Structure 1
Amino acid sequence: MRLTSILLRRVGEWSKKYANLPDRYIERAMTQVYWKTPRGKPNYLPRTIERKRFHFSIHRPWTNNFYKDNAPGTKPLFIHVEPVKDWSFFRGDRVEVLVGKDKGKQGIVKEIYQERNWIIVEGLNTKLKRVMKDKNFPGLYIQQEQPLLITSQVQLVDPSDMQGTAIEWRYREDGERVRISVRTGRVIPIPISAEETIDYKTPKLYREQVKDTTEANVHKVTFMPALKTFEMDIMDEMGIEEDRIPKKYYWY
């Protein structure tokens, strides 16, 4: 991929649609407000002072490790990230590793970190990590997957021949946007697991519950705004006509 520009991903560009959690929860979890203007103060003062730049790694924005990496008073490390116009990797995709000790091996995409153009491939590109170390216990070693850069370290696998290939985004006759293998010209479908969330496996399997607000009630319009005061609205509902002439008043 040709590098057209270099940028730093800032707040508001994290992988919401790949995080498997509601957007509002992620925003609330990673927000760091240092000072907020008290109520009743002049409006020309700044309303809030909060952190705008964050350091992204393999730690999700709602975890304690992410807060430690972006603790108050710390300056985030400036990281150059190559912008990806069309994100082409999703959870459940089969990819082939192009570098490292697992070069040539294939695996399933487990996690996505779009802020750094990283993906985690299940069982590949691992390193040993010691945990549970204590003065009376030497600890245990576990294998932990390390991120891979999508621009140069992995490529998608064509399911027709199970070989790695470059892809292009194209449109079908019905307007659907799909991934096409450059080598074979076949469609590489997006896995169903990419739609899984923490609330339900896929949207198609969700069923409305008794206590849920039905879709018909959500789309029903119950209020039509109008340029009226509350008193004027009540008078119109009761059929009262105003025949008094209001006194002139002026704004200073």
Structure 2
Amino acid sequence: MRLSARLLCKVGDLTKQYSNLPESYIKRSMEQVYYRYPKGIQYFKKEVKRRKYHFSEHRPWTAEFKEENAPRKQMKKVFLEPIREWKIFKGDRVEILTGDDKGKQGIWKVLNCQLKKIGWSKGFPGIMIKSEKPLLVTSEVKLVDPSDLNLKLYEFEWRFTESGEKVRVSLRTGRIIPMPHAAQETYDYKTKSTYKESVKDTKDEEVTEITYKPSHKNI
């Protein structure tokens, strides 16, 4: 079960966090520039590019995203309720409220799936694969209280602790709902503590090293 708003108006913060990629790289990988004025003082700094994109469950740097946003391809506009503050994260136990799997509980996989036939031809019947369909986090799923033995649904709100940490608190039990470990997962690692540095990674000592030397020289 892929917890997604199905269609977004921009690249979300959770997508950037999962990618663990610079925002400039994501912008370059998804943008479609048809014409860019040459460099020079006699030219304007203008470019002809696509302004509106169709955002679905595919990541902006994938081939599926480029296929959906192919040149001169128009997608049907879908109106959705904007999500001001994300409440459900990867790794949370939720319950489905609609569809064939209504009433089922799960973490984020296996539920709300559909079968697709690929590779069909005259001499080959094709292969059936199971793929997950997105669900609206605003109305189609709801969080399950992990501290309750009966796993009942609950409402919660964001609060701040005495130390200033922002946490989720259940309105029914008053307990703090911890953030799942899977929410820290990115494209490169499961958790920050288990990540192994490679040759191309910048060392912590080099990042924190102060190289700027102030001076009183006149320009």
Shorter-chain TM range is: 0.7 to 0.9
- The unaligned stretches of length 5 or more in structure 1 are 1-7, 110-121, 233-252
Question: Does the alignment pair 1:125 with 2:112?
Answer: yes
For residues 101 and 70 of structure 2, what CA distance do their matches in structure 1 show?
Answer: 35
Change (3 A) 1:225 1:201: same
Shift of 1:142: 2.2
1:146 aligns with 2:133: yes
Cα deviation, 1:50-70, whole Å, max 9, x if unaligned, reads 222101122221222211211
Match of 1:95 in 2: 94
Q: Show the counterpart of 1:28.
A: 28
Partner Cα separation in structure 2 for residue 83 and residue 32 of structure 1? 26
TM-score normalized with structure 2 length = 0.83
Q: What is the aligned-residue identity percentage?
A: 46
Q: Classify 1:185/1:17 alpha carbon distance in 2 versus 1 (closer, same or farther; 3 Å).
A: farther
Give distance in 1, aligned partners of 2:200 and 2:212.
23
| Alpha-carbon offset, residue 9 of structure 1 | 4.6
Runs of 4+ deviating beyond 6 Å: 225-229
CA distance in 1, matches of 2:41, 2:121: 53
Q: Does 1:40 align with 2:40?
A: yes
- 1:142 is paired with a residue whose SS is strand
Aligned residue pairs total: 210
Q: Does the CA-based 8 Å contact 1:168-1:180 persist in structure 2?
A: yes
**How far off is 1:49 after superposition?**
2.1
Q: Larger radius of gyration, structure 1 or 2?
A: 1
Please state whether the residue corresponding to 1:128 is helix, strand or coil.
strand
Q: State the shift of 1:22 in Å.
A: 0.8
Q: Secondary structure at the match of 1:155?
A: strand
TM-score (norm 1): 0.73
1:146-184 Cα shifts (integer Å, max 9, x gaps): 111011110111001122212211111221111111222
Is the 1:96–1:104 Cα contact (8 Å) retained in structure 2?
yes
**1:16 is the counterpart of 2:5:** no
Residues 1:86 and 1:64: Cα distance change in structure 2 (over 3 Å): same
